Amino acid sequence: MRKPIVTLTTDFGLHDPYVGIMKGVILTFCPEAQIVDISHEVQPFEPGQGSFLLSQSWRYFPTGTVHVAVVDPGVGSARRPILVEAAGHTFIGPDNGVLAMVYAGVPHKVRVITAERYFLKPVSQTFHGRDIFAPVAACIAGGVRPSSVGKEIDDYLKADWHEPRRISKRAWGGLVLHTDRFGNMVTNFHVEQFQEIQLRPFDLLVGTRHLDRLAHSYSEMTPGEPFLIVGSSGYVEVAANQGSAAQLLGCGTGSPCELHLF
């Protein structure tokens, strides 16, 4: 039988013992769990970035996987812990947007986590990753049914900051969702929604540069010249062959961009 998988996405970094502690708790509650790190280098206090990283990753895990996301500047406040069921996967985290890009695209059910019998006690005011999210995830991985952690709710945080806004008939305002290690800037223009960029002329303004070339692979382009490419996630990326597009353009995560279709 397949061992249950638990993935972790946090802003804890890898210097501190927080991630190791969460893994200890998970393995205590669910010894057979297989734990996989998505990223612990989410920008501190930026749930939206965590949401993006998880949204890129979860579909590559088998159904039944439990995904924990802890980017939690409001820990200890009134924000609620939630559990989301979507596409056969389970997602657990605070109700602050860190799961918003995950459930934006698929049918889903959201529950507020209230069943304290699954918590590690006493629950601290500063580390719910250890005391609430890790043990609940481990229990779900171990077979506890989602319905037993709390009631379904409808008033969870819905966010659409990651959607392009139409600014005229043939123009959209967007933004850079993420800049990766190579300096590729992932925009929020998804190829499914903007198929036309593969068919006809366009102009993407990022920083002070107008880009109008869509490449099929990095290696066909001249080093040092920024261009667009449909990234591995389906989002249009601003890239440069063997160089950092972010550095070339002086832009990065959060930078606005503007797409014109002709």
Give the footprint of a second copy on this chain (CB under 8 A): 2-3, 5, 7, 11-21, 23-25, 27-28, 31-32, 34-41, 44-45, 53-54, 56-58, 60-62, 65, 73-77, 124-127, 130-131, 178, 180-182, 216-220, 229-232, 242
Looking at beta carbons only, is 34 or 195 nearer to a second copy?
34
User: Residue 245 and residue 234: Cα distance in Å, rounded?
Assistant: 18
Give the pairing of strands 66-70 and 5-10: parallel
Residue ranges with strand state E in the chain = 5-10, 34-39, 66-70, 81-86, 89-94, 108-112, 165-168, 171-179, 185-190, 202-206, 209-211, 214-215, 227-230, 235-239, 256-261
Minimum distance, C-beta of residue 165 to a second copy, in the bound complex (Å): 25
Minimum distance, C-beta of residue 206 to a second copy, in the bound complex (Å): 18
Minimum distance, C-beta of residue 33 to a second copy, in the bound complex (Å): 9
Q: What distance lies between CA 259 and its chain's CA centroid? A: 23
| DSSP H or E segment with residue 148 | none
Structure tokens at 160: 């659409």
> How many residues belong to the chain?
262
Minimum distance, C-beta of residue 125 to a second copy, in the bound complex (Å): 4
Looking at beta carbons only, is 97 or 172 nearer to a second copy?
97
Looking at beta carbons only, is 82 or 132 nearer to a second copy?
132
Structure tokens at 3: 């061992």
Looking at beta carbons only, is 41 or 258 nearer to a second copy?
41
Looking at beta carbons only, is 127 or 156 nearer to a second copy?
127
Structure tokens at 227: 């261009």
Minimum distance, C-beta of residue 164 to a second copy, in the bound complex (Å): 21
